[in-house]
Structure 1
Amino acid sequence: MNIKDDIKNAVEVMKRGGVILYPTDTVWGIGCDATNAEAVARVYKIKQRDDSKALICLVDSDVRLQRYVRNVPEVAWDIMELSTKPTTVILDDAVNLAPNLIAPDGSIAMRITREAFSKELCYRFQKPIVSTSVNISGKPAAQNYRDISPELLEAVDYVCFARRQEHKPHTPSSIIRLQKDGKVEIIRD
């Protein structure tokens, strides 16, 4: 399957409220429409994860990020621009997202992806996409397609074809929390 059709299929599934598995700029991700509370609830259920633990969202651009976070601090742009590896930033004042995706304190974990497939997927979908590692909560993340358990492959509505043959090490993103008072906290390096 070509990449254009793969992305089109994934977008159609998410528009219908479905859940997908897809390669990202880090490990393989479980994804859905970040504005659809029912789809987000399904992701929590598939991962067997407590919904009090936040999920990451991917976007394709700084413009899109600003539609879902009320006030992005200047330091966030510097961190994302200067990072040498994929970096997720936890920002306050999330808006226009599924309520069960936003942390109790009003924050959301967002990352602008630069990897070709996930960036194009986000661009074509025109909304943030949930991006949580493909694994049961507490188990190792699937770095490559071949690491994904049959249980998880069967739990979703669509599995992307892109990068299925790839076999190389991938690591989760760095996570940095930016507080309203300007404090920067490294959650995961």
Structure 2
Amino acid sequence: MLIHIHPKNPPERLIRQVVEVLKNGGIIIYPTDTIYGLGCDIYQHKAIERICQIKGVQPQKANLSFVCYDLSDLSQYAKQLTTSVYRTLKQHLPGPYTFILEASKDVPKILKTKKDTVGIRVPDNTIARCIVKELGHPILSATLPGEYVEEYTDPEIIQEKFEKLVDLVIDGGIGGMVPSTIIDFSKGEAEVIREGAGAWEA
């Protein structure tokens, strides 16, 4: 199913419709401030496994990240952020970044890496953040499978390609082609893992 949601003023009714799908263990494809991604409720274990199947990866090796509503929401899922790390996050979020941080006990085990870290995003995208706010906790943020191609910017083409694999595709306008910049703070110092849409000054 493809639903059109206004990118700047998402109607509550449509956001609630998306959240119902997530609460029932469904998988969505949704817009962020970078590329369209696969998402589900982070507490729906089977939905996470389904996303890993779509991507053709083992959950333990998938390095999955998720979307929080804002910085105070993010703080719940990351272990004691130092003042300098918190300040850096505050400068860059919401924005096109994924930060790798030490995972708190609230992060589902399936989403933690062997090093007990987790990737967290707060995208500058109203639809994604409204979904998280209505759901009451984060949603998974996973890239679509295969190489990122130009047709993945068009929600209608995404719908044609993935309609049998996911429960809902959100059309929030044309998406980007460059993924988020990944910064690893798990060792205390910022380490750039992937240069993406977000500029980073060391």
TM-score relative to the length of structure 2? 0.81
Q: Kindly indicate whether the alpha-carbon contact (under 8 Å) linking 1:6 and 1:161 is maintained by their aligned counterparts in 2.
A: no
Corresponding residue for 1:102? 112
Alignment partners' CA distance in 2, 1:53 and 1:63: 26
Q: Kindly indicate whether the alpha-carbon contact (under 8 Å) linking 1:143 and 1:171 is maintained by their aligned counterparts in 2.
A: no
Name the CA shift for 1:150/1:76 in 2 (closer, same or farther; >3 Å): farther
Corresponding residue for 1:69? 78
- RMSD, aligned CA: 2.1
113-122 vs 1-10, which moves further: 1-10
Name the CA shift for 1:75/1:171 in 2 (closer, same or farther; >3 Å): farther
2:125 to 95, 115, 121: 115
SS at 2:163 equivalent: helix
Corresponding residue for 1:15? 23
Corresponding residue for 2:62? 53
Q: Kindly indicate whether the alpha-carbon contact (under 8 Å) linking 2:27 and 2:40 is maintained by their aligned counterparts in 1.
A: yes
Q: Kindly indicate whether the alpha-carbon contact (under 8 Å) linking 1:59 and 1:110 is maintained by their aligned counterparts in 2.
A: yes
Structure 1 unaligned residues grouped into runs of 5+: none
Q: CA deviation at 1:119?
A: 1.4
Matched pairs, number: 183
148-157 vs 104-113, which moves further: 148-157
Q: CA deviation at 1:15?
A: 0.7
Structure 2 unaligned residues grouped into runs of 5+: 196-202
Q: State, as a whole percentage, how many aligned pairs show the same letter.
A: 26
Corresponding residue for 2:199? none
Alignment partners' CA distance in 1, 2:23 and 2:14: 14
Alignment partners' CA distance in 1, 2:176 and 2:171: 18
Which amino acid is the alignment partner of residue 67 of structure 1?
A: Q
- Superposed counterparts of 1:75-86, under 5 Å: 75-83=84-92, 85-86=95-96
- Superposed counterparts of 1:24-63, under 5 Å: 24-51=32-59, 52-63=61-72
